[in-house]
Structure 1
Amino acid sequence: MTFCLFFQVLNCEYAVRGEIVTLAQKLQQDLQANPGSHPFDEILYCNIGNPQSLGQYPITFFREVLALCDHPTLLDKSDSHGLFSSDSIERAWRILDQIPGRATGAYSHSQGIKGLRDTIASGIEARDGFPADPNDIFLTDGASPGVHMMMQLLIRSENDGILCPIPQYPLYSASITLHGGKLVPYYLNEETGWGLEIPELKKQLEDAKSKGINLRALVVINPGNPTGQVLPKENQQEIVKFCKEEGLVLLADEVYQENIYVPEKKFHSFKKVSRSMGYGENDISVVSFQSVSKGYYGECGKRGGYFEVTGFSSEVREQIYKMASVNLCSNVSGQILASLVMSPPEVGDDSYESYFAEKDEILTSMARRAKTLEEAFNKLEGVTCNKAEGAMYLFPRIQLPNKAIESAKAENSVPDAFYCKQLLQATGIVFVPGSGFGQVPGTWHFRCTILPQEEKIPAIITRLTKFHENFMDQFHD
């Protein structure tokens, strides 16, 4: 058992904090110790969805409520009413009344504070138009622990498989590997804007079955990471029907539900879609993951999130609760943030206008940055890039010269990693090679976030364009 676990850890990879990022951190230390030691003056991190590390300000209302909950004596001071909005004060009192001992430093219920789960359930119901049960909600330290818990629950042996999109967020390949299962890939269609096609799902399902793999679940990331597509509702209905017919658990990664940049697309949760199709609580098993790290709030370091489970028996739910109990509870500040994300200020509240202005400014800027970068990538020789309809990333395809591919092999490197490493060393720009996310064999990509401050985007484009021209000239066939 110990050897098997060690082998699984050895085979686990997580590209967004992998070799390229490790090198970037070393270069950053070099710059700090010896300014001018490299042909750039700063490292431009475009590798991970970490908005506040790149200068995005937190939402004022959320932070006011957190501050008041963490230091409740502020609520008793008269001058605090001039520093904090009236609705943040009222919300903090309401939340503290739900916390045992009114102490954010105390353990909570393993599933999460009941009052906060009530608030989240109300937010889900308002979003979807269908009832939500707070007992179906498990609060977690970001979305990742929830994904790990579900993989641990679903994977019983090495013959159990999980259908997973390619390209995919490396959390899924890593967690499937760690828990001893098999990732069964289904390829998104780049030519149709990273479309998720049912014939491809059926093809991979039949292929897996022929190899003796027991398929347990289907992972769908919507909006897509790293691909940035937003699924049409009709496509979601096809996916729900497929899962129902094949008896698969639908694992819906919906952490980018606030990040939609094109007016013709809207977010629909898979739970809402399944209910609108007439499927009831016991007809299909759906798990939806949400996080405070993404959206317009970008509270990555607070590690808040939840998953909602529907269509599971009481026996299975008991096992999920058991796994949550092993970790005692998720951090309480993250729990509070998750409740705030699902119940922000409303029209007429003291904070509403400032809250809405902050939210609108962040999302509008993200949309502009996505469009600017997309246009820049498509101007590069041998590079094509689909539109980012949502999420926080672009995933351009790059046609690498044969000489570059041969040079990569000589260095025992994957070609797109070779490109990203050369880019980093020449410009300080950190991209993640597409090979870390999976891609159609013989194609090469890289992932770039849209999160650097808007005023830094032109510098990124200038550096990238100059590097790319030199790279293509150097390795021209």
Structure 2
Amino acid sequence: MQGAIHNSTSRLVTSLTQLVRPSRTARTAGLRPFLSAKMMAGDTEGDQPRRTKVLTMDTMNPHIKLMEYAVRGPIVARANELEKQLEQGASKPFNDIVKCNIGDAHAMGQRPLTFLRQVVALCTYPKLLEDPSFPEDAKNRARRILHSCKGGSIGSYSESPGLDVIREDAADYIQRRDGGIPSNPNDIILSAGASEGIRCVLKLLVSGKGKERSGVMIPIPQYPLYSATLAEIDAIQINYYLDEANAWGLDVAELQRSIDKARTHCTPRCIVVINPGNPTGQVISRSNIEDVIKFAHREGLVIVADEVYQDNVYAKGSHFHSFKKVLTELGDEYSNQELMSFHSTSKGYMGECGLRGGYCEIINLDTEVKTQLFKLISAKLCPTVSGQAVMDVVVNPPKEGEPSYETFSEEKAHVLSTLAEKAKIVAEAFNSVEGISCNPVMGAMYSFPRIDLPQNAVNKAKEVGKAPDVFYAEHLLEEAGICVVPGSGFGQRPGTYHFRMTILPSVEKFKDVMERFKKFHSSFMARYKDED
């Protein structure tokens, strides 16, 4: 009797369940419009269809796939692998990896400037203002910055263009630098490193389709930030070649060739100039700057002046001239020429790459367009406030008579004199090697030597699907433990091969690097020597 009752109850429950929960076939039919073909074909896990990825290589932003940034590319990834292998006891033909691929001064052993870090420490932890071991001028800088922060904390948002007091200090710095030519704080935008400011400005320039699509002239060789950003924002890259035979100088005839060719398929709107040069290390002469300004004015171009290495000038007779100063001194004829100039805390003598500080000065920009630029940066809320504090020390360093002046001056001079020494060493060392030629490193932090590769090496590289300079750089890493960036990552004239090497390792380490390099290069050239 109990069994019969149980069976009847089970049948009743099953019937009710089927009424409430449709069969799998019925459920699938109801979802059919929402399921992919792959799911409908039965690619399932149990009763649940397997969800396919929404974001794939076919559906992602195609412009991101076009971006390349050789400074942190595959060779650097391999260098990291080799470094880990050495740490685990692997046997290699070298004891360490020397990363000469990127301008990261502190990573290569440069010590932070005392005054700069004192101000940042005081801003970060204001209780240190009570510590008598900190000098009074550092405390005064920190108090002034903190007073301008909401809630007296650098943990609060600043205004989108940055703290007013730091923009004022930046304007004062520019005015001093340029011999009294006025600078307006309202034309200063602080940024998380110069790179972020440059990206914002380039975004502002992009418009049009077809032949109306915006084109941006960039030097070749160039810093890959520019090519990567132009790919990301779908602008046209217009190459103009620097003159290697003339110390990487600018040639107006080459500028004209470049823009005339570009106008057949786009609308050039901007010219980028990097001074001092990256990766080429040249310092542009005043007359060359005048040439660029006159060219840009005649051709209707905005000038983007990347001047982040303005403190890094080493060659005798070379001087940094800001585009703003030269533009102003050219007179009223050029008073409406649009110019954006950039500076950074990452380079110079500071080397504070990780703290991300920078500024952009906007000159002669249309008022309404300037409003749109400020709207664009407001979407990013604000640049890092600790980075702004670092920028303030750069533009408002200790003054003569203040407690920190002597130490600051000595530390700054030491960094710059050491860089100048290494700039001379690297050019002389490369030029002493057969098959290598290197222009003088006049400024910045890099050498860009040319390699005369044997045709056998070129052929072998093509055989394995590599660019010849990539092939060379990979062998340099694997056989000598030296990480450099192939010239093709920066652009170069067809048929020429280069690599970029920083001058940041210590003098002693640099001598070791050059010995390793000479040994490797000799072996590589002998291995691939062309038959007579």
2:77 is aligned to 22
Query: Structure 2 vs 1, CA of residues 280 and 341 (structure 1 numbering), >3 Å: closer, same or farther?
Result: farther
1:93 is aligned to 143
Among 221, 225, 229, the alignment partner of 1:171 is 225
1:49 is aligned to 103
Deviation at 1:5, TM superposition (A): 6.8
Where 1:97 maps in the other structure, the secondary structure is helix
Across the aligned residues of Structure 1 and Structure 2, the Cα RMSD in angstroms comes to 1.3
Which protein has the larger Cα radius of gyration, Structure 1 or Structure 2? 2
TM-score by length of structure 1 reads 0.97
2:349 is aligned to 296
Measure, in 2, the Cα distance between the counterparts of 1:439 and 1:124.
33
Residue by residue, what CA displacement relative to the aligned partner does 1:383-426 show, whole Å, maximum 9, x if unpaired? 10000100000000000001111111111100001000000001
Measure, in 2, the Cα distance between the counterparts of 1:434 and 1:42.
23
2:162 is aligned to 112
Deviation at 1:36, TM superposition (A): 3.8
Where 2:354 maps in the other structure, the secondary structure is helix
Deviation at 1:226, TM superposition (A): 0.3
Measure, in 2, the Cα distance between the counterparts of 1:49 and 1:382.
26
The amino acid of 1:58's aligned partner reads P
Deviation at 1:255, TM superposition (A): 0.2
Q: Does 1:70 align with 2:121?
A: no
2:192 is aligned to 141
Q: Does 1:387 align with 2:440?
A: yes
Deviates more, 1:89-98 or 1:440-449: 89-98
Measure, in 1, the Cα distance between the counterparts of 2:468 and 2:432.
21
Measure, in 2, the Cα distance between the counterparts of 1:220 and 1:333.
28
Residue by residue, what CA displacement relative to the aligned partner does 1:410-453 show, whole Å, maximum 9, x if unpaired? 11100001000000001110010000000000000000000011
Structure 1: gaps (5+ residues): none
Q: Does 1:273 align with 2:326?
A: yes
Deviation at 1:380, TM superposition (A): 1.3
Measure, in 2, the Cα distance between the counterparts of 1:96 and 1:376.
48
- The residue correspondences of 1:1-400 to structure 2 (distance < 5 A) are 6-33=61-88, 35-75=89-129, 77=130, 80-81=131-132, 83-128=133-178, 129-157=180-208, 159-209=213-263, 211-279=264-332, 283-400=336-453
The amino acid of 1:122's aligned partner reads D
Structure 2: gaps (5+ residues): 1-54
More RCO (CA 8 Å, sep 6+): 1
TM-score by length of structure 2 reads 0.87
Would you say the 8 A contact 2:488–2:497 is kept in 1? yes
Measure, in 2, the Cα distance between the counterparts of 1:69 and 1:326.
25
2:462 is aligned to 409
Measure, in 2, the Cα distance between the counterparts of 1:259 and 1:47.
18
The amino acid of 1:360's aligned partner reads A
Q: Does 1:448 align with 2:501?
A: yes
Among 396, 417, 429, the alignment partner of 2:482 is 429
Query: Structure 2 vs 1, CA of residues 199 and 4 (structure 1 numbering), >3 Å: closer, same or farther?
Result: farther
Q: Percent identity?
A: 46
Would you say the 8 A contact 1:281–1:311 is kept in 2? no
Query: Structure 2 vs 1, CA of residues 281 and 235 (structure 1 numbering), >3 Å: closer, same or farther?
Result: closer
Deviation at 1:177, TM superposition (A): 0.8
The amino acid of 1:415's aligned partner reads P
Measure, in 2, the Cα distance between the counterparts of 1:323 and 1:335.
19
Residue by residue, what CA displacement relative to the aligned partner does 1:168-200 show, whole Å, maximum 9, x if unpaired? 000000101110011100000000000101111
